[in-house]
Structure 1
């Protein structure tokens, strides 16, 4: 096996950089050699102080650290590396006598720990899982990383250059407006206006004026001409959210807009040309509403030329932590807060939650947590204050069954992310049978592709 210089810092390279902090020369050399064989760039340090000094200049992608070092404890190393190493996961290696300290470290934000003696293959699998969600070659995806949402994004990018009307369906908070903006931004209209309205947010008379505009004197209070969204959109995109809530008279006017590509301001006497692309969205079952006579069938067919369904967040749990980290980074910057990430219990709580409010709920919870968190790490209590017990630093504390499920969910999600949802390859990586992985996917509410 190759020999690894224990203090060399790597040059820029596409492979992940792992910092190994281990004072035992035999174990340190063995782990460093295995990491090199597996393709990692490795820096080996024999003392905590040596590691802290070096890693303040070059942050690694992950850290493997002995919990007992000649100059520092694991907790001291963790605190010292917190700022320079950012969100790099830290995996601690400990003897059975130090498990209590390892648990405290995980509550403080460490990623995981293993007890000695350990199997090197198990260590490598653990490291791969920790890096899987962080170290991927991005394909530029905007909506998420799960196979289900990547399939949606591929469809949106394919239809972005054409002018066909698109109907986005999916539960409330699943990201339909974000998908509409992706459609607009990836097409030839990207530099033109994107205007949006929620058809359920206004009474019918105000909604008609908002979409089609009105002439001066069209109704009481109409003191001046008003250009509606259909006019403001120009040759850009008109996005109609919750389109199922349109009252019958407005359904007829929208049908004319789509069929004849003209509209008339409220109180107006002449038709105006309509040049924008229409993207509509709903969380309702439009097929059922058509069958019940509550939505015009001819309008439905005009809107649903291309129909794209967005999955609920519970159907793509692989996206929970990547989205949560993305949102936390946005809010940490926006609020000028020194937030580095989530505690392990916070990640467990996020992965165990069903998110009935979908991505919108996740974003709102992270925003509130970013605003109110007292430390540099967001806790479960910050994310779910309604479940917190008074006096507990990181409530709610999961049961052992919940903790096991959350750990399995994280590992499986990481394997699926790294294999683009291929269940067969993910099962090989996790060293379980394909049938066992399918059963766990079903029980944990995860999804993959057959492969």
Structure 2
């Protein structure tokens, strides 16, 4: 952001406009005579402080327009310090404005020196709050190995992983196929300082039912035909580390009781064995199925569900992650372009639009496969929508809220994130796309908590 100290004076009296303009030597002063002009200046310049006269046209004798102006300024720039400048008859309204979010009020007649002190103090508070927000953002670490995400939805997931990782709680990862459940499981393993063992993953749907028990629990020599030696199972193999049970919903009913006992007692008994073996292991489960529905159908044990569901983490589908598609696409492109020994330059504009519009039923896995196929098959220097085998779809623009402020914030975040992804995180070109100044975009990025 620019270092110039800016103040907006909202006053319809030309004489007071001049007096107040010369009262603030240390500030770049912008003057507005009505609400519309004031909001234009707020959007373009984003001053740290604004003084607002309550008697504005078309209600110069009242306070309704002034109060409305205060509310609109705070809605557009909630961090701006608004100082209400009022007459004796407007004191109660000035107090009401402060109660609604204004920083302070000053009672006429104007004393330039005193008003300057109030404004300077307000600007100092603004700077302190901005610095605090900047430092807070710097110390928020939502990065995880293998996790490429910047959307608010995935930041929430990452923050939940950060909180849960140091514990020994059993975690259930829920989400569609291809959303990155194993990546989250590996992050839970890697961010637990007390874990020294290995990460062991087993896909319950990929192993035949008659082999799954021996794969999990192991077997003693001679337990069955072909058991020529004693073999520990994957649970034992994960001693001191993490056991990741993927596609938990496919676990056969015959094994669910045995797994439940292990989760409760933390001991295993090999097939053909008589000895209980204690195992210290962190358990993480994952599924794309509705386990509660399977419980109703008697296909999944309710007691096992509550044992593995100590802490659930829902991973949203790619189509619901604002801005992550282009972020992932660029990352996969860089990786695959290097691996395949290609020298492609990037994506065309129509390719970026097509990537953004596609619904991604196969989630991150589908995205990576399409990027790999496009990199290998591309004829030109850039990947096009045709290379991706995608065509842009019409945006639905569906709104699920009637709260205008909530909708405005959501739309602003989505549009700004898209613009930043289109410009590969470069703020100046993104500001040009959005039709705002660079300082304004920096402020919006900070206000909305967008990580660049």
Task: State the TM-score bracket (shorter-chain normalisation).
Answer: 0.5 to 0.7
- C-alpha separation in 2, matches of 1:382 and 1:417: 21
1:413 matches 2:418: no
**After superposition, what is the alpha-carbon deviation per residue over 1:119-155, rounded to whole angstroms, capped at 9, x for unaligned?**
xxxxxxxxxxxxxxxxx97945243111011101100
**Are the equivalent residues in 1 in contact too, given 2:249–2:289 (CA < 8 A)?**
yes
Query: How many angstroms does 1:317 deviate by?
Result: 3.8
Larger-gyration structure (1/2): 2
**After superposition, what is the alpha-carbon deviation per residue over 1:378-425, rounded to whole angstroms, capped at 9, x for unaligned?**
2222222xx6xxxxxxxx4x58x57999xxx99963514799xxxxxx
Match in the other structure for 1:311 = 316
Summarize the Cα distance change of 1:345–1:196 in structure 2 as closer, same or farther, 3 Å threshold: same
**Are the equivalent residues in 1 in contact too, given 2:142–2:155 (CA < 8 A)?**
no
DSSP-derived class of the 1:255 partner: helix
**After superposition, what is the alpha-carbon deviation per residue over 1:254-286, rounded to whole angstroms, capped at 9, x for unaligned?**
101100000011222211111110000000111
Query: How many angstroms does 1:365 deviate by?
Result: 1.2
Match in the other structure for 2:342 = 337
- C-alpha separation in 1, matches of 2:195 and 2:338: 26
Query: How many angstroms does 1:323 deviate by?
Result: 0.7
- C-alpha separation in 2, matches of 1:175 and 1:311: 9
**Are the equivalent residues in 2 in contact too, given 1:313–1:359 (CA < 8 A)?**
yes
**Are the equivalent residues in 1 in contact too, given 2:198–2:238 (CA < 8 A)?**
yes
Q: Which runs of 5+ in 1 are unaligned?
A: 3-36, 39-135, 388-395, 420-425, 433-447
Query: How many angstroms does 1:247 deviate by?
Result: 0.7
| 1:51-66 map, 5 Å | none
DSSP-derived class of the 2:387 partner: helix
**Are the equivalent residues in 1 in contact too, given 2:419–2:434 (CA < 8 A)?**
no
1:284 matches 2:289: yes
Match in the other structure for 1:43 = none
**Are the equivalent residues in 2 in contact too, given 1:211–1:229 (CA < 8 A)?**
yes
**Which residue of 141, 147, 152 maps to 2:143?**
141
Match in the other structure for 2:252 = 247
Match in the other structure for 2:442 = none
**Are the equivalent residues in 2 in contact too, given 1:317–1:351 (CA < 8 A)?**
no
- C-alpha separation in 2, matches of 1:316 and 1:431: 24
- C-alpha separation in 1, matches of 2:189 and 2:158: 13
Match in the other structure for 1:323 = 328
1:376 matches 2:381: yes
Q: Which runs of 5+ in 2 are unaligned?
A: 3-44, 47-136, 399-409, 421-429, 437-447
**Are the equivalent residues in 2 in contact too, given 1:212–1:263 (CA < 8 A)?**
yes
**Are the equivalent residues in 2 in contact too, given 1:348–1:403 (CA < 8 A)?**
no
DSSP-derived class of the 1:280 partner: strand
**Which residue of 171, 175, 184 maps to 2:176?**
171
Summarize the Cα distance change of 1:190–1:341 in structure 2 as closer, same or farther, 3 Å threshold: farther
Summarize the Cα distance change of 1:328–1:411 in structure 2 as closer, same or farther, 3 Å threshold: farther
**Are the equivalent residues in 2 in contact too, given 1:216–1:225 (CA < 8 A)?**
yes
Match in the other structure for 2:217 = 212
DSSP-derived class of the 2:243 partner: strand
**Which residue of 186, 204, 207 maps to 1:181?**
186
Match in the other structure for 1:238 = 243
Greater mean alpha carbon deviation, residues 170-179 or residues 209-218: 209-218
Match in the other structure for 1:72 = none
Summarize the Cα distance change of 1:227–1:370 in structure 2 as closer, same or farther, 3 Å threshold: farther
Root-mean-square deviation (Å): 3.5
Give the TM-score taking structure 2 as reference length. 0.56
Query: How many angstroms does 1:222 deviate by?
Result: 2.1
Give 4+ residue runs of structure 1 displaced > 4 Å after superposition: 136-140, 401-405, 409-412, 416-419, 429-432
- C-alpha separation in 2, matches of 1:371 and 1:218: 50
- C-alpha separation in 1, matches of 2:268 and 2:171: 20
Match in the other structure for 2:226 = 221
